[in-house]
Amino acid sequence: MIYEVFRQERKGQAFQHAGSIGAPNLEFAEVYAREQYGRRQESTALWLVPRDAIDELDDFVDELGRTYHRVDGYSLKAKLKEARERAAARSG
Amino acid sequence: MSEDEFLEYVQGGGQVETRDWMPDEYRAKLIKFIEMHGNSELMGVLPEREWILRAPTLQRKLALTAKVQDEVGHAQLIYRVVEDLGKPREACLDDLVSGRAKFHNVFHYPTKTWGDVGVIAWLVDAAAIISQKALLKCSYAPYARIMKKICWEESFHILHGRDVVLTLMNGTDEQRELVQEALTRWWGPLMQFHGNPIPREDDPMFVWRIKSQGNEEARQQFLDGYVPQIWELGLEVPDPKLRKRDDGVWEYTEPDWDELRYVVTGHGPRTADRLDLRRRARERSAWVRQVVLAEAA
């Protein structure tokens, strides 16, 4: 069995994929994972997930170029400059 | 994606995951390169293992044991990567113990004194970490990712080696002589370690961006980083031609490439003994694997 290992470096942080280990069952996987990813106190917690249980989606295509729901869809610099100039002209 | 497009992709810094399409040639080169790295980690513990029981203090025994554990752990991680590329670990081990597969030249030599332990942990590991850091940018992403953990652990090994060397250098004349004698013996293999200076464009491992630097670049980086550290301790490097030119390039006596070829093809002074030890250990532990796998089934 292949187990994917995710480790949390410090409390409060997100778990990150660290690597995989091969083990005949979960009991052995726990021992191996402790040795590989925890023996120097470099992790506060580990998640072990059988590789088969992972469902990967990787088909994220932005066919319509929908920038309106992202920050890069809003470049305000030119508009802000114009608005400031207009405001200055109105008060001046 | 065609093979040419793939090549262009990796040469432009693109990275590849296990389940992505890849040319057969690329997969074959990856397996060959990564498997040799795994073999070297596994065989690399044997020269040091010989000194665990003879280490001068309990602290040194513990540190050496920890280092051996790290290297075996690296071998496990690396064989896992090879396995995902299609070659099972058992097949790698079969090829290793039968002498069909290669491992790094430096692990074919004897460790005669405690001075060797210091020189290996300091300078052999320094040479290795230069190659390994260049693998952080490997086009095969799963390998590049585990290299992060490996480099992190190697940095402790270099410090441990330097500590052993400094302790000896601050000791008696006899202790200093141990280091000098070991350095003199190890210099040849160290200079051969990064391989012959073929232009990187002619090196298939660079062309596929498995490695991100050429052999000579790695050797120059090693010389530049470590020769000044060796000299400042009053140690002598056994190469009268060794010097840094004004343009920053190190000149040195041509390493013995025939020796390198001869040693890595299985004719080193300790090759047969160490492969034999590995073979016997594997046979002796076969029953453990059988019991564990049967119980888990």
Query: What is the mean predicted confidence (pLDDT) over A42-49?
Result: 97
Q: What is the pLDDT of residue B294?
A: 84
Which domains, ranges and CATH numbers included, belong to chain A? Answer: 2-53 (3.10.20.520)
Cβ count near B66 (within 10 Å): 16
Q: Any chain B CB within 8 A of the CB of A41? A: no
Please give the residue range of the domain that contains residue B79. Answer: 3-296
Interface of B with A in 254-293 (CB under 8 A): 292-293
Q: Long-range contacts for B129-136 (Cβ within 8 Å, ≥24 apart)?
A: B129/B154, B129/B155, B129/B158, B130/B194, B130/B218, B130/B221, B130/B222, B130/B225, B131/B194, B131/B211, B131/B218, B134/B211, B134/B212, B134/B213, B134/B218, B135/B210, B135/B211, B135/B212
The domain that holds B243 is classified in CATH as: 1.20.1260.10
Q: Tell me the chain B residues in contact with residue A36 when contact means C-beta distances shorter than 8 Å.
A: 73, 76-77
Average pLDDT score over residue span A39-49: 95
Instruction: Work out whether strand A45-50 and strand B250-251 pair parallel, antiparallel, or are unpaired.
Output: unpaired
Q: State the smallest CA–CA distance between residue A23 and chain B in angstroms.
A: 9
Look at A19 and B84 and tell me if their CB atoms are within 8 Å.
no
pLDDT in tens, B204-214: 999 999 999 99
- Say what the pLDDT of residue B155 is: 85
Chain B hits for A20, Cβ within 8 Å: 80, 84
Contacts of B145 in chain A (CB under 8 A): 17, 19
CA distance B168 to B149: 30
Q: Is the C-alpha dihedral spanning A26, A32, A38, A39 positive or negative? A: positive
Which residue among A19, A24, A36 sits closest to B145, beta carbon to beta carbon? A19
* Mean pLDDT estimate for chain A: 94
Q: What is the ipTM of this complex?
A: 0.86
Beta strands in chain B (DSSP E): 243-244, 250-251
Q: Cα separation of A8 and A16, whole Å?
A: 6
End-to-end CA distance of chain B: 41
Listed residue (B228, B198, B231, B202) closest to B216, CA to CA: B198
Question: Which of B80, B152, B153, B293 should we substitute to test contact with A (largest number of A Cβ atoms within 10 Å)?
Answer: B80
Q: How far is CA B62 from CA A25, B57, B293, in A?
A: 30, 9, 31
Mutation target to probe the A interface, by most A beta carbons within 10 A, among B84, B154, B289 is B84
Residue B200 CB coordination number (10 Å): 16
Residues 6+ apart with CB under 8 A from B280: none
Q: What is the pLDDT of residue B1?
A: 87
What is each CA distance from B195 to A10, A69, B190, B248, in whole angstroms?
40, 52, 10, 21
pLDDT at B4: 96
**Which among A17, A19, A39 has CB closest to B77?**
A19
**CA proximity to B134, closest of B122, B151, B153:** B151
Predicted pLDDT of residue A65: 84
For residue B161, which of B287, B273, B66 has the smallest C-alpha distance?
B66
Q: Which residues of chain B have pLDDT under 70?
A: 297
User: Percentage of residues in chain A with pLDDT exceeding 70?
Assistant: 100
Tokens of B174: 């006899």
Q: By the CB < 8 Å criterion, does B170 face chain A? A: no
Residues of chain A positioned with their CB less than 8 A from the CB of B293:
24
How many folded domains does chain B comprise?
Answer: 1
Which residue from B146, B149, B293 is facing A24, i.e. has the nearest CB?
B293
Tens of pLDDT, residue by residue over A56-67, are 998 898 888 888
* Predicted pLDDT at B67: 94
Of A2, A19, A25, the CB nearest to B296: A25
A25 touches chain B (CB under 8 A): yes
How many CB pairs (< 8 A) connect A and B? 30
Who among A18, A22, A36 is closest to B73 (CB)? Answer: A36
Find the helix or strand (DSSP H, E) in which B90 lies.
Answer: helix B89-97
